[in-house]
Amino acid sequence: MKSPLLSLPGAVPAEGVDEGVAAHYGDLFREQRALADGTGFVDLSHRGVVTVTGEDRLSWLHLLLTQHVSDLPTGEATEALILSAHGHIEHALYLVDDGTTVWAHVEPGTQDALVAYLESMKFFNRVDVTDRTAEFAVVHLPAGSIAEVPGEAVVRETAYGRDLFLPRTDLESYAEKSGPPVGILAYEALRVEHHRPRLGFETDHRTIPHELGWIGTAVHLQKGCYRGQETVARVQNLGKPPRRLVFLHLDGSEVHLPPAGTDIRLADDGPDGRKIGFVTTSVRHHELGPVALALVKRNVPLDARLVVDTTAAAQEVVVEP
């Protein structure tokens, strides 16, 4: 879905999964600094919006999600996953309940599959699942923002800021009074800085929650049964995940950022050494320079010197080995 805010001065369209919103508005580092200082807003209107209504909504979702939501307080934000039977991550939902409706925003293009799965699991529960993407747009306000929140918006407030579910018809008028606009690249740079994984970026077809540090934030270990729980419990109690998320500081003398999927090797093994991981997201940060998130084998030493293609890299622990 193409955002009307792409008509704003300086807007450069994003590509790939984030197509439909602005990558930036002409000054990437200024936009990053604005977010870090608590000013501006990010147009996330390309993300999917799904709602669940009905008196059984929380108890029903509790049976399907990795998070404990049966007693989710009104207005309290949480995040949750849907796993395969083998414990691999299929969906990531960013949730809030407004007292009558659970609102979730999800990765662009994943809402159809999510709604289809939820519909298949309704059985006799008193719930209604609706794709609201065509009606509502997501807007992000950074932590510390004093921007006005319209009364008709549903708000999901976290430590990183507030996600607003706005009527899509109000998006342009809201942007006029809530600037400056900030592109998705600046939003992504701060996401990487905060070591926050993203579905489809830090995940592949075999990713389990332990590898990304989603235990605790999106996976509740003391709740009842859900699809994939056996894998979660077994890894938590009896073993370790095969891979772990790391934060990489990249050699700043390189001109180009390594794209997602770039192989990581031990520097001491040389250019023909075995692959021990791969880049998932790389960004240029306004203070830290070129940095990245990556998945590496669990047993890679914490003090190992790494090389990303031909770029030297130092790792910072996100998930303990």
- pLDDT at site 252: 83
- pLDDT at site 179: 80
- pLDDT at site 271: 83
Q: How many residues does the chain have?
A: 321
Q: Give the Å distances, CA to CA, from 152 to 43, 147, 165, 169, 206.
A: 18, 15, 9, 12, 40
Of the candidates 216, 178, 192, the residue with the CA atom closest to the CA atom of residue 294: 192
CATH code matching the domain that covers 48-131, chosen among 1.10.10.10, 3.40.50.2300, 3.30.70.1400, 2.60.120.10: 3.30.70.1400
- pLDDT at site 3: 97
pLDDT of residue 255 exceeding 80: no
Average pLDDT, the chain: 96
pLDDT of residue 270 exceeding 90: no
Domain covering 242-320 in this structure, CATH number: 2.40.30.160
253 band by pLDDT with thresholds 50, 70 and 90 = confident
Structural domain spans, the chain: 4-47+135-194, 48-131, 242-320
d(CA 266, CA 275): 8
Region of residue 6 (phi > 0: left; psi between -120 and 50: alpha; otherwise: beta): alpha
Residue 151: count of CB within 10 angstroms of its CB:
5
Q: Collect all residues with Cβ–Cβ distance below 8 Å to 16 and sequence separation of at least 6.
A: none
pLDDT of residue 37 exceeding 90: yes
- pLDDT at site 64: 98
Q: What average pLDDT does the segment 102-119 reach?
A: 98
Type of residue numbered 132: R
Tens of pLDDT, residues 127-176: 999 999 999 999 999 999 999 999 999 999 999 999 999 999 999 999 99
- The strand ranges marked E within 3-99 are 12-13, 22-24, 41-43, 48-53, 78-83, 89-97
Q: Residue 164's beta-bridge partner residues?
A: 139, 155
Tens of pLDDT, residues 177-214: 888 999 999 999 999 999 999 999 999 999 999 999 99
Tens of pLDDT, residues 45-83: 999 999 999 999 999 999 999 999 999 999 999 999 999
